[in-house]
Amino acid sequence: MTRIALLLALSLGALPAPARSAEPRKARAVKVMVLPFQAVTADVPARSGPRVTARLVAEVHAAEGLKLVEWDAAMAAARAEGGTSVAPAVAREAGTGSTAMPAAARGDTKAAATPAVANGKANGSTTALAVARDTAGPQANARDSARAETGGAQANVRDGMQAPAEEPLTVAREAVKEATTARDAHDFKRADAALSRALDAYSAGAAQLTDASELADAYALRAAVRYATGRDEEAAVSLTQALALAPSHPLPLAATSPLFAKTVERVRAAQESGPRGGVRFESVPSGLAVTLDGKSVGNAPLRVTDVPPGAHLWRAVLPSGDAVGGIVEVAPDKQAVVQVRPAGTGPDAALALALASNRLDAAALEAASAMGRAAGADLVVLGTVARVATGLAVDAFVLAPGDAAPRRLSRMSVDTELLEASAPLREGITAVAARGVEAGAKEALPVVPATGVVSASPSSQVTYPASVARAPEAPKPDAPAPDRKPLQPIRKPLVRP
C-alpha cells in the first residue's frame, strides 16, 4: 500500500499545475514638469503667469497616469551632488538685485569711465518654486503631502545650506547708522568705510528701494565725511551724486552746518547750469511701468531727457510680480540704456526671456530640454499668457527633452481672475495624459507663442521730473513811492564864481 501511495503521489506531482492568472502590470507614470508661464503683454494682471503655472501644476499632480516633477526639488538634489551648472537663483521665489554701482557713483575718482549701458538684475525672476507656492487650499495640501513623503533627503539638503543672508536694505541702513555715530565721534576713517558698505548694499537692494532721497542722504553724509578729512575733490563727487538723485531734496546735513549749506548751493548751481544727459528704457515684455529716482516716468519703451549727470535709481515690477531695479550712470550729453527684463544666467532665465518676448526659438527650446533632462522629466509643459478681448489666452506647448520642435496644445481661454480656469486647464492636461506629445500639433521654429497679440508698445519721451518741486523765489517788493517832497539839502553845493 505504501508503495502504491508513493507512486500515486509522484504521478500527481508530475501533472502540470494550473496556470496562475496573470496580474495586470501597472503602467509607469509619465513624469511631467511644468515650467513658468510668462506674460507677453504688460496689461496682463499681476502674477497671472505664476498663477496659471500653479494651476497647471495642480492639474498634473491630480491627473491619472502623470507624475509631477518639481523643478526646485530636482535642482536642490542636483546641487547637493554637485551635478548641475544651473544658477542657484532658480530655487528662490524672488530676490533683489541691480547692476553693480558704477565706480563714479561710489565716488571713486580713480576708477574706470562711466558705463554707457546699465542692465537690471533680480536674483530669481520667475521660478517654478515661486509659482508652485501660489496655489492655496486642497491642491496645495495635496502637493505638500506628496512632498512630505519624499522630503527626507530634501530636508537634509536644506539643513546643509547656509542661513539666508540679511536683506541688503537692512545692511545699508545699519551701516549708515554706524557711519553717523563714527562721524559724531570724529572717527572719519570708520565712517567712510561704513558708508562704502552702505552704498554697495543700497545698490544690491535697489529693486526694493522706492525713495531716492534715502540714497541721496547717504551720499551727502559721505561728502561731509570726506570734506572733513580734506578730500575735497572726492567729496564734491559724492555731493554731486546726492543732488543728481534728488535735485531739490533738502539735505538734512545742510541745516546743521552753514559752511556745508553754502557748499551744497554752490554744487547745485554748477549742476543746474551744466549739460544734462538722458536714459532710455526698454522692457520685456513691452509696456512695463518704470520709475526713476522714485518718480514714475511712464511705460517702456521711453526716453527720459534732461537728466542730471550722475547715478540714478530705477525700478520696475515685472508681470510675475517680481521687482527689478538698479543704478544707472548718466553722463553729460550721453544717453544710457536700461534693459528691464527677467534676469539671470541659467537656462530658466534664457527661457523666461524668450517667452516674455513672445518668441520660442532653438535656444529657448534647448533651455527647456536642459531643464527637463536635469529634472528627469519625460515631458515638459511651457507657454505664455496674453491679454485678449475676452480675458486671458493661455498658449501652451509640450515637448520631450531633446525634441527638435515643440508641439502646440489648443489655446485655453480663461477669465482675468482665473475664477473659471479649472475646466480649460484640466482639459489641456488631460489631453497630455492621454496622448503625450501627440496631444499637440508640431510647429517649426521659430514660433510665436501668443498669435494675434500685439506685444509692442509705442515709444514715448518725457522730461526728468524733480524729486521735490522747488518753490519759486518770491519777488522782491518794490520800494514805496515817497508821499512828500524830499528835504532840501542843508548845505548848498559849491558853485564856481
Locate 431 and state its grid cell. 489631453
Residue ranges of domains in the chain, CATH in brackets: 30-87+345-442 (3.40.50), 168-273 (1.25.40)
Average predicted confidence (pLDDT) for the chain: 77
Q: How far apart are CA 438 and CA 461, in angstroms?
A: 48
pLDDT in tens, 33-71: 999 999 998 999 989 999 999 999 999 999 999 999 986
pLDDT of residue 244: 92
Residue of 338, 470, 394 whose CA lies nearest to 36:
394
pLDDT of residue 247: 85
Note whether 337 and 117 are within 8 A (CB): yes
Q: Residues in the chain with pLDDT < 50?
A: 15, 18-21, 77-163, 467-477, 497
pLDDT of residue 81: 43
Show the CA angle centred on residue 23, arms to residues 22 and 29, nearest 5°.
135
**pTM of the predicted protein model:** 0.70
